Amino acid sequence: MPSRRSVCARRHPQSRHQETAVNQAVRPFAVVTGASSGIGFELARCCATQGYDLLIAADEPAIDTAAVALRDTGMAVDALCVDLADPAGVEALYGATRGRPVDVLCANAGRGLGRAFLDQDFRDIQRVVETNVTGTLDLLHRIGRDMRDRRTGRILITGSIAGFMPGTYQAVYNATKAFLDSFSFALRHELRDCGVTVTCLMPGATETDFFERADMVDTRLGQQKKDDPAEVAREGFEAMLRGDGDVVTGWQNKLRAAISNVTPADLLAEQHRRMAEPGGGIER
């Protein structure tokens, strides 16, 4: 007769597999893009602490480090290093869900680009548009259809208050955010009778590596005090859970958004020029 220990040893792998399958069947599932750091990482943390298993993605190897940190919450976390500017990256990310129903999609991936439009490399301009708009829409189209078919799901799209104003020296980025802000409201109303909510998170300048990657550290925007990404993510996540249509984070950003609605576009463009002009943040 085999010992009790040997019986347990033989059964353990099967029990663990069954437990994993049961947990995945019970726990909700969230996909978060741009999750290696900043707002995206904090959104992923919000999901995990609320009991969501995660599939996180970013275009840099740091996504694996983020996954290690998020696994401390006890949730299952898969990480994928993909570039959403590439259709193959979107395909790979969608495929990595392995048909598991997505309960929450945080479409947070984004790319900035400073300096004058005519001085920028057009390949960099294309990457901004392909990441912020084309790749994001592709992923939303795929997962959004699945949510609509199941008649349940929550979508959080990271727009920006930058979408409220012409972005002198940041023209393409602001234009992509204006697109996302507008698109979010339109999609929300298309899905309002389908059990799927769409929330637009519209932060202001946030303490992330955005300004370094966008080559804007020497601007007034790059030098000014910025918001805490954890707080921005928390406000966005809570708004999504409530089913709100939008959330502008922080009282100063709410004030800026309100003022921009009644300020002529020409004046907004000039104000943005002063804030985003290269070298404008360096004291002389």
Residue 14 has a pLDDT of 37
Residue 22 has a pLDDT of 54
User: Which residues are part of the catalytic machinery?
Assistant: 173
27-276: CATH class? alpha beta
Centroid of chain to Cα 16 = 33
Helices and strands of the chain, counted as H and E runs: 12, 7
Residue 33 has a pLDDT of 99
Residue 281 has a pLDDT of 83
- Mean pLDDT over each residue of the chain, to the nearest integer: 91
Residue 282 has a pLDDT of 75
Name which of 160, 141, 23, 124 is nearest 87 in CA terms.
141
Calculate the alpha carbon distances from 114 to 21, 72, 104 in Å.
46, 36, 31
E runs forming strands in the chain: 29-33, 53-58, 77-81, 104-107, 153-158, 196-202, 246-248
Q: Are 181 and 160 in contact (CB under 8 A)?
A: yes
What does DSSP assign to residue 134?
A: I
Distance CA 34, CA 44 (A): 10
Name which of 133, 142, 70 is nearest 101 in CA terms.
142
What is the distance between the terminal CA atoms of the chain, rounded to a whole angstrom? 86
Residue 6 has a pLDDT of 31
Residue 26 has a pLDDT of 83
Q: Whole-prediction pTM value?
A: 0.89
Residues lower than pLDDT 70 in the chain: 1-25, 283-284
